[in-house]
Structure 1
Amino acid sequence: MPEAFVKGLNDNTRTKTIDLLNARLADVISLAMAVKQAHWNLRGAGFIGVHELLDDVADRLRESSDLIAERAVILGGIARGTTEVVAEQTTMAAYPVEEKELQIHVEALKERFLDVGEKVRAAIGEAGEMGEDDVEDLFTEVSRQIDKDAWFIGANSPVPAS
């Protein structure tokens, strides 16, 4: 294993933590690409507001992926974030690439944000069980941002009739 820049973690914990980081990295990168797919292609009422929101959301997801990837490297691992690895490793449902309708994009993104957010929250618990407090904290930060962006995106859904 390459040089780690932390002390106090055994090799088994570091390896498991790096694997956990890379698993969630694949999902966060996949989610960022889904956001950009919607950003480029959506049409309909409310277009400009959602279009601009999605650019900001994609930027935040890239920041989250940087945090995740850099922690894997700090622990002595390799960040596995190429398109080939992400396509193979993501657990996120495939995004509907032929879609144009704004509301369908909003719903598709909301579903994927909720799914990835749930997996990141599970990673919080896994990191905690391994005693990797820093990664637990990192995933908590990522989870909060994903949840907030799910809310921002979901707020563009039509309000159900009472």
Structure 2
Amino acid sequence: MSTKTVTSAPVRMSFTASETLSDHLQASLVDVTALSLVAKQIHWNVVGPNFRDLHLNLDEVVDIARSGSDALAERMRAINVVPDGRPGVIAAKTTVPEAPVSQVITNEAVDYIVSAIDAVVKTLRAVHAEVDAEDPISSGILEDYTQQLEQQGWFLSAQNYTA
């Protein structure tokens, strides 16, 4: 069995993201990753009427956010960008509002998670045009996750709707 380490440089893909594209994808990655964390925080601590439905819906949001984080990070690597998903970076740079630490009643949990989703969607929409101009493939990822998160925001916000 050989223990020789290969140290040659990897072959790089021909397209390399500009600094602007890299920054936009990193900002998107940060917010989508933060959403997965705060949605799980709310999922663990929600109480009250319609608990089970909201508890399960929050897992859907977590799944979308985790999938989005992975899609963004892998796209970044494919275009020669190093994604940074370290906890300190996520905490320092996210636009997602901080989640409550204590138990949260269902209607307040809905309001919070909709605001968190909205923060992520604002980031994705804010960078979309410049991402699309440089890399339509990456903008397609942003579009896909924007659509999924906007749908979840609508589903969740409808729970607190009054006629």
Identify whether the pair has TM-score above 0.5, normalized to the shorter chain.
Answer: yes
SS at 1:155's partner residue?
A: helix
1:44-83 equivalences in 2 (<5 Å): 44-83=48-87
Q: Deviations over 1:131-161 (max 9, x none)?
A: 211111111111111111111221221x223
Q: Which amino acid aligns with 2:14?
A: K
Q: Given the alignment, which residue of 14, 18, 23 partners 1:14?
A: 18
Contact 2:97 2:115 in 1 (8 A): no
Identity over aligned pairs, percent: 27
2:151 is the counterpart of 1:148? yes
User: Judging changes above 3 Å, is the alpha-carbon distance between structure 1 residues 88 and 4 closer, same or farther for their aligned structure 2 residues?
Assistant: farther
Q: Can you give the 5+ residue segments of structure 1 that lack an aligned partner in the other structure?
A: none
CA distance in 2, matches of 1:88, 1:4: 33
Cα offsets for 1:65-110 (capped at 9, x unmatched): 1011111111112111111110111122222222421110100111
State how 1:1-162 maps to structure 2 within 5 Å: 5-9=12-16, 13-129=17-133, 131-157=134-160, 159-161=161-163
Mapped partners of 1:8, 1:94: distance in 2: 36
CA distance 1:36–1:58, shift in 2 (3 Å): same
Change (3 A) 1:134 1:5: farther
- Partner in structure 1 of residue 5 of structure 2: none
Normalised by the length of structure 2, the TM-score is 0.87
| 1:21-73, Cα deviation, whole Å (9 max, x unpaired) | 11111111111111101100000010011101111220111001101111111
**In structure 2, distance between residues paired with 1:149 and 1:119:** 16
- What residue ranges of structure 2 are gaps of 5+ in the alignment? 1-8
- Structure with the greater alpha carbon radius of gyration: 2
- The SS at the match of 1:93 is coil
Question: In angstroms, what is the RMSD of aligned CA positions?
Answer: 1.8
Q: Determine the structure 1 residue equivalent to 2:6.
A: none
**1:18–1:106 Cα change, 3 Å:** same
Question: Structure 1 residues 87 and 125, CA, compared in 2 at 3 Å: closer, same or farther?
Answer: same
Q: CA deviation at 1:16?
A: 2.1
Structure 1 stretches (4+) deviating beyond 6 angstroms? none
For 1:91 and 1:84, how far apart are their aligned partners in 2? Answer: 14
Shift of 1:3: 6.0
Alpha-carbon distance in 2 for matches of 1:127, 1:137: 9
The count of aligned residue pairs is 155
* Contact 1:106–1:153 under 8 Å retained in 2: yes
